[in-house]
Every structure is written in C-alpha cells, then in structure tokens.
C-alpha cells in the first residue's frame, strides 16, 4: 500500500504530531508499505514534501490566494478578522500547493489536523481514500487565543470561522480517528459530528527505541546539592499552564526547598515565563533548558514529571514519562484523565488550581514510597498500553475499511 501522512503544521518540529507521524511511518514500513511525509516547512514559507525533499514555495501561489481571500471576504464577514484571514491564507496556499502533486499514486492519504483534512477532502482523487486523525480541537485552542490573547472587535466572528473549520475537517475523511472519548464527545456534542464518522484509537509509541536512548550511567545535567528534580517537557505556551506551575512552585518554595525544576522546551511564552521566575526570585530553583534532543535521558534523571495543561488531548510527553517510569502529576484537562488513574498511576489535579498542584508536589517529594509505587504502576500500564505495533495494525484495519467504504461510495 502507498500511504501519504500529511499535516498542515510545520515539519520537522519538536512535538507530538511530528513524532507520531515518524513513528507510524517506521512501523508501517516494517509491515512492507511505502510511506511519504508532507507538511509545511520553515515557518510556513513553503509546502514541504519531505520524502522527496521537494519544496513548493508559498510565494508562487500567494498573489492568487490573496485575490481569492478578497472574494471570500465579500461573502463571509469573519474574513475581516486578521487571524482568520491569516489562517485561511495559509490553508489556501497549502491547498493550491498540494494540488500540484501527483496524489493519484496514493492508496491512502492520512491527515493529522482539520486544516489538512479539509484541504485533501477537496483536492484528492476520488479513488484515493482519506483518513484523518485529529490530535486535539483547533476550534477550542483558537477560541482561547482570539478571546483571551489576541482580542479584537472581530474575535467572536473568528470563533465562528474556526467552529466551521472544525466541522469541515472532522467530516472530510472516510473515517476520523480521535485518541480518546473526550475529543469524541466534544465533536459529537459541540460540533454535531456523526458518531459513525468517529473512531477512538489511542496512540502507539516506539517504546524500545525511546528506552534505548537512556544511559543509566550517564548524567546530562548536573544536580546541585542532590536536590530532587521536577521536570516539565513540552511547548512553552499558555495552554500548557506553565505559569500556574511556576506559581505553585513559588508556594512550594516557602515550605520545601529541596528541589529544582527543569522546564524543557521552547515557545512564544518563554520570555514571559522567565520574567515570572525572576520576579519570584526562583532563578536557582527553576531552570529553562530550552529545546533538547535527549528527552529520554532527562526524564530518566528526573524524579518527578508534571504536566499542568489547561487544554490537552493525549500528550506524548505524558506517554514518555510513563514509559520511563516516573511519578506523575497532571491536570484534569481534556483526555488526560483517560491516561492516568488518580492515586494509582499518578495524581490528577484540577487544571489551573495552583494550591492543589503545590500540595501534590509536596506530597510526592516527601513520600518516596508512594512516589515509587505510582511510578512502577505507571510504567507497567504504559508498557502494556502504548504498543506501536498493535496501534499500527489497528490503523491498517482502518485504512482497509476506508478503502472499501470509498469504493462503495464511488459506485453510488
């Protein structure tokens, strides 16, 4: 089978979707299939056909795209919003670029977001089957952005645009895969997607490769005074709730100082978060390590993993912490409670509740036996649950069912 894994997001990138695409590609190729990768490249300057190193410059279609946006603005008032205009321009550039590719050679195109799903739903050959995986709710994230971060008089109109995009992206494929019941319920109850359109299938993970990157005899970061290490890994953006983590750590510091927190990753909020640390005089206790390629080793060296997200789906950073066998504190955002059993494989706190997060951090730092029990339970569950091979086999079943459905549809 010839398969294209495609995303609207920039590739390569540090984060879950690119990691997911590469691991799925690797496992599908082990099964004997041919797999190509496609996404945007280098800050959306071109559409990047990764497998053949082909770059389709944005500037080649930008003038035509702008004319099309101007026409659309006469029909829909939400194009008056700058965020909508920007996002729709990027989506149309993506569409015009991928339409130049020979898509008929693919049996299956497997998209990874509502943008690329809506695009390939329009441009794919009818003989090619489209399968979509949604790794979260773009409508929810963009609603938070336009109503709380980039607030303008047209922000409510922007919400309408992203709601429509969510529906289109969730219904463009033969089958839409979501990682958990949380996102399935959101799409059904809020966006009125048919339950028959959706299939819940959790991620798989290349556990062996990840664990083989750990050297038990190596230390990549020097510990000061043998303090316990709290670690966060992920993007430094508002939705990850790191500002709440810093406030919780500030409270913790008043009663417990035998710790240091490593914040691993980069993002638009980094400078703001660094100022927050400085204002609370926590520079010696909270360290920003930036983007790293040694996440498995850093997780191994840490004592406790924390994920204080405000909006979340099925975070790979949590999966990685479980695989390594860390005691875990997470928020109750999105699909996280389907990944952690409170008091058994980790501790779940209310998203944004800094006092609760502080108390949970204190409890695990002080109670080594309980921390070890949580860690062992988390690892045992993860090794059984996140098998990449099993996940890829289920994916092949979905591909084949989609092909049959697509052929049946084409005959009507």
Kindly give, in sequence order, each residue whose CB lies less than 8 Å from that of residue 271, ignoring residues fewer than 6 positions away: none
Distance CA 208, CA 266 (A): 26
**Which token pair is 9?**
């997001």
**Average pLDDT for 22-39:** 97
**Average pLDDT for 305-331:** 96
Verify that 153 and 214 share a domain, yes or no: no
pLDDT > 70: percent of the chain: 99
Backbone phi and psi for residue 226, each to the nearest 5 degrees, phi listed first? 55, 30
Distance CA 412, CA 406 (A): 10
Give the SS3 label for residue 81: coil
Verify that 341 and 364 share a domain, yes or no: yes
Kindly give, in sequence order, each residue whose CB lies less than 8 Å from that of residue 224, ignoring residues fewer than 6 positions away: 260
Round the average pLDDT of the chain to a whole number and report it.
Answer: 96
**Which token pair is 34?**
């041919």
Verify that 176 and 299 share a domain, yes or no: no
Q: Would the pLDDT of 406 be above 70?
A: yes
Verify that 143 and 247 share a domain, yes or no: no
Q: State residue 81's pLDDT score.
A: 97
Residue 145 has, within 13 A of its CA and on its CB side, a CA count of 17
Verify that 377 and 393 share a domain, yes or no: no
**Average pLDDT for 218-226:** 85
**Which token pair is 358?**
């502080």
pLDDT band at residue 411 under the 50/70/90 scheme: confident
Q: Which residues on adjacent β-strands are paired with residue 124?
A: none
Q: What is the pLDDT of residues 51-79, one digit of tens each?
A: 889 999 999 999 999 999 999 999 999 99
Verify that 165 and 215 share a domain, yes or no: no
Distance CA 308, CA 252 (A): 15
346: left (phi over 0), alpha (psi -120 to 50) or beta: left
Verify that 400 and 254 share a domain, yes or no: no
Give the SS3 label for residue 5: strand
Residues 264 and 221: beta-carbon distance below 8 Å: no
pLDDT band at residue 222 under the 50/70/90 scheme: confident
Give the SS3 label for residue 7: strand
Verify that 374 and 402 share a domain, yes or no: no
What is the value of pTM for the model shown?
Answer: 0.91
Distance CA 232, CA 253 (A): 17
Q: State residue 241's pLDDT score.
A: 97
Q: What is the pLDDT of residues 249-262, one digit of tens each?
A: 999 999 999 999 99
Domain tally, the chain = 2
Beta pairing class for 46-49 and 34-41: antiparallel
Residue 108 has, within 13 A of its CA and on its CB side, a CA count of 28
Please name which of 146, 84, 144 lies closest in space to residue 115, comparing C-alpha atoms.
Answer: 84
DSSP class of residue 222?
P
Q: What is the pLDDT of residues 183-205, one digit of tens each?
A: 999 999 999 999 999 999 999 99
Verify that 117 and 8 share a domain, yes or no: yes
**Within its chain, how far is the Cα of 329 from the centroid?**
19
pLDDT band at residue 14 under the 50/70/90 scheme: low
DSSP class of residue 354?
H
Give the SS3 label for residue 216: coil
Kindly give, in sequence order, each residue whose CB lies less than 8 Å from that of residue 255, ignoring residues fewer than 6 positions away: 362
Verify that 68 and 170 share a domain, yes or no: yes
Domain interval for residue 243:
208-385
Verify that 263 and 404 share a domain, yes or no: no
Q: Would the pLDDT of 13 be above 80?
A: no
Distance CA 28, CA 393 (A): 8
DSSP class of residue 21?
H
Q: State residue 308's pLDDT score.
A: 98
Dmax over CA atoms of the chain, in Å, equals 71
Q: What is the pLDDT of residues 280-301, one digit of tens each?
A: 999 999 999 999 999 999 999 9
Q: State residue 225's pLDDT score.
A: 76
């Amino acid at each position: 089978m010839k398969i294209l894994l495609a995303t609207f997001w920039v590739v390569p990138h540090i984060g879950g979707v690119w990691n997911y695409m590469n691991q799925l590609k690797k496992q599908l190729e082990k099964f004997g299939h041919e797999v190509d990768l496609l996404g945007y490249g280098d800050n959306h300057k071109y559409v990047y056909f990764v497998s053949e190193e082909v770059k389709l410059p944005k500037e080649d279609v930008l003038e035509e795209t702008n004319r099309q946006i101007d026409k659309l603005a006469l029909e829909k008032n939400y194009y008056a919003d700058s965020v909508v205009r920007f996002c729709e321009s990027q989506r149309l550039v993506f569409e015009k670029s991928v339409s130049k590719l020979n898509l008929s050679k693919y049996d299956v195109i497997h998209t990874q977001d509502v943008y690329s799903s809506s695009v390939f739903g329009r441009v794919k050959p009818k003989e090619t089957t489209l399968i979509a995986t949604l790794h979260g709710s773009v409508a929810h994230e963009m609603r938070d952005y336009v109503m709380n971060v980039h607030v303008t008089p047209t922000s409510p109109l922007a919400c309408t645009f992203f709601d429509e995009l969510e529906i289109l992206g969730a219904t463009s494929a033969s089958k839409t895969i979501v990682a958990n019941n949380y996102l399935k319920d959101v799409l059904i109850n809020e966006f009125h997607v048919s339950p028959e359109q959706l299939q819940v299938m959790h991620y798989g993970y290349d556990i062996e490769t990840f664990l083989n990157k750990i050297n038990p005899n190596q230390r990549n970061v020097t510990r000061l005074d043998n303090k316990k290490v709290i670690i966060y890994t992920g993007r430094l953006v508002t939705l990850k709730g790191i500002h709440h983590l810093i406030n919780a750590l500030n409270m913790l510091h008043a009663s417990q100082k035998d710790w240091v927190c490593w914040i691993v990753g980069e993002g638009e909020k980094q400078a703001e978060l660094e100022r927050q640390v400085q204002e609370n005089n926590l520079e010696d206790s909270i360290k920003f390590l930036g983007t790293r390629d040694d996440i498995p080793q850093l997780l191994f060296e840490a004592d406790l993993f924390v994920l204080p997200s405000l909006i979340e789906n099925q975070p790979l950073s949590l999966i990685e912490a479980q695989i390594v066998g860390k005691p875990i504190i997470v928020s109750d955002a999105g699909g996280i409670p389907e990944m952690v059993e409170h008091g058994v494989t980790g501790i779940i706190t209310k998203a944004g509740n800094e006092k609760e997060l502080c108390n949970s951090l204190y409890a695990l730092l002080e109670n080594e036996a309980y921390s070890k029990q949580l860690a062992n339970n988390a690892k045992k569950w993860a090794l059984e649950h996140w098998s990449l091979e099993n996940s890829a086999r289920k994916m092949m079943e979905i591909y084949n069912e989609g092909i049959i459905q697509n052929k049946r549809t084409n005959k009507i």
